[in-house]
Structure 1
Amino acid sequence: MSETHLIGIDMEIQEFRITAYDRSGNKVLGSKAEFDQYSIDDWVRALRDASVFLPKGRNIVTAVGTSGTIVPVDKYGTPVFEPQWYFETAPEQATRLRKLEIANDLPNRRLLLSASSPIPKILALREQNPDRFEEIEWILSPTTWLLYRLHMQNGERWRDIETDWNNALKFGADISTTSPQWYEPVFDTLDLSLDILPEITAPGSWIGHAESQLASEMGLRDAEIYHGLTDGNASALAAGSIQSGDCSIICGTSSVIKYASQEIDADNSLYFHRHPIQGYLASAAFDTGYILRWFCENVLDTSLSSGLKLAQSTNAGDEPRVFIQGDRSPFFNPDVGTTILDFWPEDKESPEETRGRLVRGFATGIALSENTYFDLLENQFDNLNTVHLISGGKSRGQGPFTWWNTLRASIWEQEVIKMEPRTSAGALIPTALEASIYPDVKKASDTLLHSHGPIPADESIHSLYEEERTEFKENWETINHLYKMIRDRRDS
């Protein structure tokens, strides 16, 4: 009997990772390749370098990529412009868009519009290069481009292209409808033809077999190709946000919270994706780990790991109160910066003790900030199951990061499960279901996802911060109000 392999391609910012799993969820092969330039030629070179060659059998492939990056190609899938990355901006076009009457309806459709959104960048390409823009046949996400690049034979015209609804969201998809579709009033207002955008389908849907020369060079010839996900949603599945009530938090440079819900809620602190399997993903993201790392490196002249070691030796309750900036979430106030309160210099304190108190203040403030979302989810939805945690960074939760995870679990008052970071495995869940590898969602997730077990809470720490959880939220609201008052006074 021939073997079956589930293969996930993870398209990161400067690196491609390919991971193959067997039917039991064991990793059997992994490869990666880096690239320095953000061009299609560099992508193809890196994909060739990251090739995998598996025993003959049934190979099933999907991919994940960054959301909000656009790949404009001609009728043969050749780039007309190089990829416009999610972090690149078109501020002039975004400002004009926000002034249009149609912009008032976008929040109701859960469409986000910023200078880094795909639509302003598409408009900028059309305005700055009108003749070349006419050569565009398709505007795709990196995920969709890669999967069809593997599927299509060289020189074959790209027809009947589809894209998954997770990657379609930032391009202007309305997920509030029964079946996600492009929000046509926006494109009509901007005189943008929907012909350059693919049809929208479910993640994990069938595309075809890998028939291109690139697929052969990567060791994927004749593999089955299925639609993928954005990296954020793949990570959410990998972290355990599978069925209604499941909640995950991925703690790296940002804290990214995902909650599997059956409906869309109106709270402005949350944005929504259509869940890759069923329902929706209520989401929030705000800068946390990045701020602490910046503070350690630029103010204390030490590493994040060393800073957390100092914090670990500080007594709970001795730290200053740190309120993480709310420019992204929950306040969306560009004027709110990080605020440190109750910091009293101690004459008898060593420099290490002072640094430890400061870092512990940040680590505690981040945990308390994250906790506000668990309170929000419990208030907005009927149930909140166990919280699944993935710690970002190279440490993957070792050493002082384990201490920080324990601090989090103690403050949150939630059962917390530590998950192995398997982004590609998360993306493979809807694919494996469509390919009939597993009979149901539970079997697929139990097989492909790996848990490192519960993170025990420290009861003494929990009781110490129990009252402060409420005070923290109230004080943070007050700080936000003060920042608004300062802005209004400055602008008047």
Structure 2
Amino acid sequence: MSETYLVGIDLALSSVRVTAYDWNGDVALSGTADIAEQSPAGWERAVREAAVFLPRARIVVSTIGTSGTVVTVDEYGNPIFEPRWYYETEPEQADELLDLDTVQELSSKGLSLSAASPLAKVLALRERNPDRFDDVEWILSPATWLLYRLRYPTGRRWTDLETDWTNALKFGADITRSAPDWFEPLFDAVDVPLDLLPAIRRPGTTVGHAESEFAADVGLRDAELYHGLTDGNASVLASGCLYPGDCSIVCGSTSVVKYVSETIEPHDALYYHRHPIEGYLPGAAFDTGVVLRWLCEQVLDIRQERGLELARAVDSDDEPRVYLQGNRSPFFDPGMGTTLLDLWPDDERSIGETRGRLVRGLVSSIALSEYTYFPILEEHFGEAVDRIHLVSGGEPAGDDPFSWWNTLRASIWDREVLKMEPRTTVGPLIPAALTASVYEDVDEASEQLLRVNGKVRADDDLREEYEPVKRRFASEWRLIADLYEDLK
């Protein structure tokens, strides 16, 4: 068998990572580079800096990009506007969208529109720059843009473009169809022609071969290109969420909870993706790590690691109760801030003890907030959620502060917790490798490409101490949300 390499390119917010894996899933080469300029030209420069150069072999390539970022190009792939990032908002255009009769129908299909929705940004670009908008030939996601930048040589028209259904979702895709497609009534209502959008295909669908000069410059001439995934979906596959009943939590700036279901069953606290391989991905994402970083660095003036060290020395019955902000799931209330209760001035505590108490309250609250989704999923889908695939810092049996936090999580969750190696670039390569017949089936692909670091052991004493707390936490969190509503 000739040598085959699988290359994943992660075009993230501030950096690019390129990782090449051999058939066994071992890293052959890897490169990273910061993105100095947020533009397609800046992305290209970062890919060039992160490029890996493999020996002559069969090379399978797929890409990852941020979900909900808008890239507009002309017929030759040249940018018309600067990218509009997933976190940027257009409230006025969102209000226009939310007034449409079609929005409720789209919501029932698993997609809710907001001020951060790509279509709101597209409408804003058109309203503010109508003449320039006339030059837009394609509206793309970053992952799709990068694939076609590798595909087409300079000066060749970009024709017959396609995108994967994970990157299409937030733009306005109906993922409930057997073959997902654009939700035409929505685009008709705002007069956005569907021919500005690429056709929707399954992740891992063949794009073609890399023929551009750019591809040659980064060591990928003639590589096979396959449609990729959003960053969230890539993390989910890399965490091992492959079959119905699988559940994962990816912890970073946010905590992203994902579950594999066979059907779509709408729920206020869940949004849906079509699973890249089979079924659906109900899930939620809420701000967690970013709140911890803010508390430690901006308020307490300490590193996160130091904050967790101090928190570790605090008893569970001595922590204040913290309730996370509700701007994202489960409340979607931008007016609900992170709330701290049971804060009493105490001159007898040292500065370190006071800092540790605040951090302990927050990290326990984060674990409790993550836990609230397990009963929701179990009740909604009628299946026990008894194993969690965790992607986070720390080690399964480590003694560092982040490993202690994982132990706290496992104790509060009271479920088997598998600590997964964070291999985001593997995510889009699983469906790509299946299409390319690199592996016979999902089992073989996951066995070769995924890595389990080990089990995170719960602390029996902590499990018992938090049992009454977690039974009432969800209702208390709801009371805080209602209080904010009453105070408006």
* Common topology (TM > 0.5): yes
Aligned position for 1:353: 353
Question: Residues of 1 paired with 2:393 and 2:231: CA distance?
Answer: 14
Letter of the aligned partner of 1:465 in structure 2? Answer: Y
Superposition map of 1:67-216 within 5 A: 67-216=67-216
Contact 1:25–1:448 (CA<8 Å) still a contact in 2? yes
Superposition map of 1:427-442 within 5 A: 427-442=428-443
Residues 392-413 of structure 1: CA deviation (Å, up to 9, x unaligned): 599xx87100000000000001
Aligned-pair CA distance for 1:351: 2.0
Residues 266-296 of structure 1: CA deviation (Å, up to 9, x unaligned): 2110000000000000110111111122112
Secondary structure of 1:374's counterpart equals: helix
Question: Residues of 2 paired with 1:346 and 1:42: CA distance?
Answer: 51
Question: Residues of 1 paired with 2:14 and 2:290: CA distance?
Answer: 19
Residues 205-255 of structure 1: CA deviation (Å, up to 9, x unaligned): 011111110110000011111000001100011112111111110111111
Superposition map of 1:323-472 within 5 A: 323-383=323-383, 384-391=385-392, 399-472=400-473
Secondary structure of 1:463's counterpart equals: helix
Contact 2:274–2:280 (CA<8 Å) still a contact in 1? yes
Contact 1:308–1:400 (CA<8 Å) still a contact in 2? yes
Give ranges in structure 1 of 5+ residues lacking alignment: 488-492
Question: Residues of 2 paired with 1:83 and 1:393: CA distance?
Answer: 34
Aligned-pair CA distance for 1:385: 4.5
| Mean Cα deviation higher: 128-137 or 157-166 | 128-137
Aligned position for 1:490: none
Contact 2:174–2:180 (CA<8 Å) still a contact in 1? yes
Aligned-pair CA distance for 1:183: 0.4
Contact 1:245–1:385 (CA<8 Å) still a contact in 2? no
Contact 1:94–1:114 (CA<8 Å) still a contact in 2? yes
Question: Residues of 2 paired with 1:184 and 1:46: CA distance?
Answer: 36
Contact 2:111–2:272 (CA<8 Å) still a contact in 1? no
Contact 1:136–1:196 (CA<8 Å) still a contact in 2? yes
Contact 2:7–2:61 (CA<8 Å) still a contact in 1? yes
Secondary structure of 1:475's counterpart equals: helix
Aligned-pair CA distance for 1:187: 0.8
Contact 2:7–2:18 (CA<8 Å) still a contact in 1? yes
Residue-pair matches, total: 486
Question: Residues of 1 paired with 2:380 and 2:103: CA distance?
Answer: 26
Secondary structure of 2:13's counterpart equals: coil
Contact 1:252–1:393 (CA<8 Å) still a contact in 2? no
Residues 32-70 of structure 1: CA deviation (Å, up to 9, x unaligned): 222221112112222222222111111000000001111
Residues 77-109 of structure 1: CA deviation (Å, up to 9, x unaligned): 111222222122222211222223333333112
Residues 169-195 of structure 1: CA deviation (Å, up to 9, x unaligned): 011101122211100001111111101
Give ranges in structure 2 of 5+ residues lacking alignment: none
Question: Residues of 1 paired with 2:408 and 2:445: CA distance?
Answer: 31
Secondary structure of 2:316's counterpart equals: coil
Question: Residues of 1 paired with 2:78 and 2:393: CA distance?
Answer: 35
Contact 2:110–2:266 (CA<8 Å) still a contact in 1? no
Provide the TM-score with structure 2 as the length reference.
0.96
Question: Residues of 1 paired with 2:92 and 2:330: CA distance?
Answer: 26
Superposition map of 1:238-317 within 5 A: 238-317=238-317
Contact 1:2–1:56 (CA<8 Å) still a contact in 2? no
Question: Residues of 2 paired with 1:312 and 1:359: CA distance?
Answer: 9
Contact 2:10–2:65 (CA<8 Å) still a contact in 1? yes
Letter of the aligned partner of 2:361 in structure 1? Answer: G
Secondary structure of 2:29's counterpart equals: strand
Contact 1:89–1:121 (CA<8 Å) still a contact in 2? yes
Q: 1:477 to 1:411 in 2, by over 3 A?
A: same
Secondary structure of 2:256's counterpart equals: strand
Contact 1:241–1:260 (CA<8 Å) still a contact in 2? yes
Provide the TM-score with structure 1 as the length reference.
0.96
| Mean Cα deviation higher: 9-18 or 298-307 | 298-307
Question: Residues of 2 paired with 1:464 and 1:472: CA distance?
Answer: 13
Residues 117-142 of structure 1: CA deviation (Å, up to 9, x unaligned): 11111111111221221111111111
Contact 1:208–1:226 (CA<8 Å) still a contact in 2? yes
Contact 1:6–1:20 (CA<8 Å) still a contact in 2? yes
Secondary structure of 1:261's counterpart equals: coil
